[in-house]
A and B are shown apart, each in its own frame.
Chain A
Amino acid sequence: DGGITQSPKYLFRKEGQNVTLSCEQNLNHDAMYWYRQDPGQGLRLIYYSQIVNDFQKGDIAEGYSVSREKKESFPLTVTSAQKNPTAFYLCASSIVGSNEQFFGPGTRLTVL
């Protein structure tokens, strides 16, 4: 089955630690995205990538980093510089030139 997988589903982190969220897709999509979801705020774009080895900041990139070494993978690192990292993180992908995005199941990050 084609789709997007995110792991882990739940993640706990101590303050001051970096943590990496995984996103993998087998849809052969060129573009991938990371969103953060907070209650009552909808989804906000963190980073996006339209091609391997290239990515751009979204609206709330501070405290986050990404890499895009393979077409299928777009991991997100939440660094200790992110002041309020507790949230639900969603990864998405799309065909470049298409406006339809497909979403993964999400990772819920909790900072203890």
Chain B
Amino acid sequence: AQSVTQLDSQVPVFEEAPVELRCNYSSSVSVYLFWYVQYPNQGLQLLLKYLSGSTLVESINGFEAEFNKSQTSFHLRKPSVHISDTAEYFCAVSDLGTYKYIFGTGTRLKVLA
């Protein structure tokens, strides 16, 4: 069965520093990959997704993630974080042809001034 691992439960980083949030999934079958962001007491907002094509996907607010099939990873990166990026980030995987998301346990990003 598919599983998703987000090893870092919390990541503190200073403003304007780069950050990487790690996501690994277990199955090497064809997958769709997602990163969602959640601000306190709110729902999840889609940050970016990999469905097919280019393995590097970007969001409108400067985040990017790279699909690495051989390492079964989909790490999220941003070269320079802002205070407003403080939130919890969830990685999710969906096997091709299924409805079901498997979520990681989340990484809480805290950007320090």
Q: Known contacts being A99-B32, A99-B94, is A90 close to B43, with CB within 8 Å?
A: yes
Please choose the segment from A13-21, A42-50, A62-70, A72-80 that sits at the chain B interface, where 4 or more of its residues have CB less than 8 A away: A42-50
Q: In the bound complex, what is the Cα–Cα distance between A101 and B43 (angstroms)?
A: 12
Closest B residue by C-beta to A44: B103
CB of B25 closer than 8 Å to a CB of A:
no
CB within 8 Å of B: which of A69-104?
88, 90, 92, 94, 96, 99-104
CB within 8 Å of A: which of B26-85?
32, 34, 36, 41-46, 49, 51
The number of residues on chain A lying at the interface, defined by a beta carbon within 8 Å of a beta carbon of chain B, is: 26
B70-113 CB mask vs A (1 if < 8 Å, else 0) is 00000000000000000000100010001111011110000000
B43 touches A99 (CB 8 A): no
A99 touches B99 (CB 8 A): yes
Chain B residues with CB under 8 Å of A57's CB are none
Interface size class of B (residues with CB under 8 A): 20 to 34
Chain B residues with CB under 8 Å of A109's CB are none
A108 touches B41 (CB 8 A): yes
CB of A41 closer than 8 Å to a CB of B:
yes
B42 touches A48 (CB 8 A): no
B99 touches A106 (CB 8 A): no
Nearest-Cβ distance from residue B36 to partner chain A, whole angstroms: 8
A106 touches B90 (CB 8 A): no
Nearest-Cβ distance from residue B68 to partner chain A, whole angstroms: 19
Residues on B facing A (Cβ under 8 Å)? 4, 9, 32, 34, 36, 41-46, 49, 51, 90, 94, 98-101, 103-106
List 14 A-B pairs, Cβ < 8 Å.
A40-B105, A42-B103, A42-B105, A43-B103, A45-B100, A99-B94, A99-B99, A100-B34, A100-B49, A101-B101, A104-B43, A105-B43, A106-B41, A106-B42
